[in-house]
Amino acid sequence: MELLSARVPFALRLVLAVASGAIYALAYPPLGWRWLVVPGVFGLLVTLQGQSGSRARAIGFLHGLAAFAVGLSWLCQLFGAWAFFLWIVLAVFPAVFAHFQGLVSARGVKGWYFAAFTALNWGGWEFIRSELFLLKFPWLSAGSAVGPNGWLPWIGVYGVSVLIVFGAALLSLRHWKSGVASLALVLGACLLVPRHPDPGTDDPAAVKLGGIQSEDATVHDFVTATRALPADLQFVVWPEYAVPYDIRADVKEWNLVQQLCRDRDITLTFGTQRHEAGGETWRNIALTVDPRGPRGEHNKVHTVHFFDDGIAGTTALPIDTRHGEVGTPICFDCDYEGVVRKMTTAGAEMFVVPVMDAKSWTAREHDQHAELMRIRACENGRWMFVCATSGVSQVIDPNGMVHTRLGAMVEGVLVGSLRRESGFTFYTRFGWLTPWVVLGIAGISWILLLWPKRRDRGTQAGSA
């Protein structure tokens, strides 16, 4: 039985679609009321009841437009009026989701089968938008709304999205007990995630790190700030683009950095560039140096859309350091599931992450971005030290819990300890396949729904 009467005017449904999209967006920072993701999805599913075709698509589109416009309003700071067109592109995905909801409803699918299809339908399109679509936009997934939880090390963020939507779908069908129980399993997994103890100073697997959070500093500023850090630090991190040119082409500054590592007996990872032969092309890299010299570099794999961010890299390998195997993904690399996971399987025991989030992008963008680092740490069970230009810098444990944090729009120093980990989560080994399985099942379902029913094919043949 439908919760929303068929007599409800379509105009009112459109209003409800916008309202549900706005509610969905409020689950993310800056408000960050995570539980609002449930009424956000629930509201969309109820509004779609009894609707199909262009009406269903319009409802899904307006829900998505409201969600992305409210949740990603900071895009205006980056692109001005062009942000509206980005919101429109992103809103196409919930519109297509809604279209298939209308098709399956018209086929008479009900009950648990309908709820299961809804979850798979959502999960498939969310995965395409986040990881496979040309623009690849993983922000505002349903799974990331609830934050680190006990499901992430098993099925990852996209699997969590499927569970949330499945529970909301059961509620929309008035399966109250089953829906509440399903959602309790997901949301309860957030409340029960323990905080790892801080690594002790006598722990042989512990590494003490420091980071310099500054957007406008010069190499000399970073060197001076590093010399002022506590004497017992073993590892230091500077942000992405800390040196926005190829430092190895400047002999004086390159020698200054290497001398710093020798004087302080530290390992240093920082963002810089590597220019190709001829200097016409360049790569955005995280370079790691210690008293013996360069230890290795990581070429940013996921360069930022619409920005001159260098040539994208193709490998995701850790750096061999005195403190074990260290993954050094750069900023946007952590927005997607693959780079951190591949570095982990290749032996990374902990992660240091140089990040550039500009002050002009607003604290809302910084806080939303910071959540994705927590997701990646929890999925793969690794400690992570994030050093950003203007925030958010943070120390994250293998359950995604933040131990130390330096917020947005400030300059300062972050100090904390990481512990080297060697075990693999189920997600790192096999669970990362969850969204692919979801997409495969959903894809078959989409094809079957688009395929004319036997009765329709008979009618078409007769008319021919």
Q: What is the pLDDT of residues 182-199, one digit of tens each?
A: 999 988 888 788 889 989
Q: Which residue has the higher pLDDT, 116 or 460?
A: 116
- pLDDT for 279: 72
Amino acid 323 reads H
Q: Does residue 1 belong to any structural domain of this protein?
A: no
78-112 per-position pLDDT tens digit: 899 999 999 999 999 999 999 999 999 999 999 99
Q: What is the pLDDT of residues 200-254, one digit of tens each?
A: 777 888 999 999 999 999 999 999 999 999 999 999 999 999 999 999 999 999 9
CB neighbours of residue 453 within 10 Å: 12
Res 461: pLDDT: 46
Instruction: List phi, psi (to 5°) of 232.
Output: -90, 5
Per-residue pLDDT band for 462 (boundaries 50, 70, 90) equals very low
Same domain, 274 and 367: yes
- How confident is the model over 379-409, as pLDDT tens digits? 999 999 999 999 999 999 999 999 999 999 9
Q: Which of 294, 357, 354 is nearest to 327 (CA)?
A: 354
pLDDT of residue 455: 53
Does residue 241 share a domain with residue 128? no
Model's pTM, two decimal places? Answer: 0.94
Same-domain check for residues 178 and 287: no
User: Can you give the residue range of the structural domain that contains 266?
Assistant: 206-425
Residue 421 lies in a domain: yes
In b/e form, how buried is each residue of 108-146, taking b as 16+ CB within 10 angstroms? Answer: ebeeeebbbbbbbbbbbbbbbbbbeeeeebbbbbbbbbb
**pLDDT of 450:** 94
- Average confidence (pLDDT) over 280-296: 96
For residues 308 and 443, membership in a common domain is answered with no
In which order are the strands placed within the sheet that holds 267-275?
293-299, 282-290, 267-275, 235-237, 206-213, 412-419
Given this model, what pLDDT does residue 278 score?
73
Q: What is the DSSP string of 69-123?
A: HHHTTTHHHHHGGGHHHHHHHHHHHHHHHHHHHHHHHHTT--HHHHHHHHHHHHH
What are the CA-CA distances from residue 90 to residues 337, 429, 442 (Å)?
A: 19, 31, 19
Does one domain contain both 408 and 456?
A: no
* Residue pair 433/115 in contact by the 8 Å Cβ criterion: no
Give the mean pLDDT of the chain.
Answer: 94
Asked if 345 and 262 count as a contact pair (C-beta separation under 8 A), the reply is: no
Residue by residue, DSSP assigns 208-220 as EEEEEE-SS--HH
Q: How many domains does the chain have?
A: 2
Same structural domain, 161 and 240: no
Q: Which residues pair with 393 in a beta bridge?
A: 406
Is the same domain home to 262 and 242? Answer: yes
pLDDT over 70, % of the chain: 97
Quick check: 32 pLDDT over 60?
yes
Q: What is the pLDDT of residue 464?
A: 42
Is residue 257 domain-shared with residue 389, that is, in the same domain? yes
CATH of the domain at 328: 3.60.110.10
- Residue 198 domain flag: no
Amino acid making up residue 124: G
d(CA 114, CA 151): 23
